[in-house]
Amino acid sequence: MSDERLDRISLPKDAGPHGDSNIEWWYFFSFLNGDRGGRYAVMASFFRVGEFEIGKGHYIIHTLIDLDRKKRFNFSSFDSKVKLAMLAIYLPFYLLLHPTDKRIWRLYKKLLKGEIPAQHTMLEAARINQHPLELIYGSHKLRFKGEEAVGFDALLKEKNSEIELEFTPIKPVALIGGDGKPDDLYYYSTTRNSVNGIIKTDGKTENVSGTGWFDHQWGRDYSLVKGSGWDWFGILLSDGRELLLNQMSSGKPMANVIEEDGSIRFTRNLTFQKVKYWKSLKTNARYPVEWEIRIPDFGIELNVEAEFPNQEMPIIGPIQAIWEGTCKVTGREKHSDGKSRPLSGRGFMELVGYAN
């Protein structure tokens, strides 16, 4: 790749799967306006998991959010290899660490009996093709385009809905952390994309367009198996910049500011303060749905609040569920001359580890 910053990551090679990783995912979200007046958000994550180079399992979660009605439609599907890995490795490992967790014992016994937990379905088949890179998870697809395989077409197809989106990057690839490896996982993003496509629901079709975000991460990590988690924020500022903020339950936090020209400012010096909670009736998890975030090195102070509180998603495995949904952002940025200006934006907030 021509960008000399990408010394750890080489595209298009690293756009595809990595056999030596035990966890890998391709993730996107988008905010969309329809030609019939609808306002939507779409999120999807294609996972590839497994301890060995052969026999990887495949898992997808995705959601369609109707922003006007504050209603969402969640989907979670995994293949037989994920089920096998859960039974043979991941659930036994978790239960060694948490032997009194009755919910995971129930899940383990249910999978042993061949039953599929409610809110999940089985993928008929899954595979990843190369040249061009294409992820095919049942009826869902990601097909990457271009010399560097950063733009892509997405298809999310369920019984009563179908979403087709085309992502075209507006900015260069961003190496998160400045070098593409801020922690145990390799991590690059295209944080601002133009998005066009269609949404079909209940036999009705709406042309949509808007803005989206894409992440790709891979490596060896056991946070999800251990039941630990993180708080992640992908924010599209109205001034053309993006913020990627994260704090792990174990490890240092990070803030990435992706400038309009694609350059990155990075710091570990930031604080997260939980302001307001929402309790799920399904899992009894208490999720912090409003935050005050301060980044002193960049003079940034933010208020991040869920657009609406009930945005929990089911997840197969020890963490059981996450909060993954839309948020609105306000704040201020103080400059070196002492003057400050307001900030505003929107994005996605991901809260992991609160339901276990």
Asked if residue 320 has pLDDT above 50, the reply is: yes
pTM of the model: 0.95
Tokens of 99: 């032997």
Long-range contacts of 284-293 (CB under 8 A, 24+ apart): 285/312, 285/321, 285/323, 285/354, 285/355, 286/354, 287/312, 287/323, 287/351, 287/354, 288/231, 288/351, 289/323, 289/349, 291/231, 291/233, 293/233, 293/245
Residue 2 has pLDDT above 90, yes or no: no
- CATH number at 1-79+123-221: 2.40.370.10
Res 60: pLDDT: 98
Could you give the residue range(s) of every CATH 2.40.370.10 domain in the chain? 1-79+123-221, 226-356
pLDDT of 256 higher than 90: yes
39 neighbors 67 (Cβ within 8 angstroms)? yes
Instruction: Find the mean pLDDT for residues 39-63.
Output: 96
Instruction: Give pLDDT, residue 4.
Output: 44
254: nearest Cα among 272, 274, 229, 236: 272
Instruction: List CB contacts of 152: < 8 A, sequence separation 6 or more.
Output: 142, 143, 144, 145, 166, 167, 214
May I ask the CATH class of domain 226-356?
mainly beta
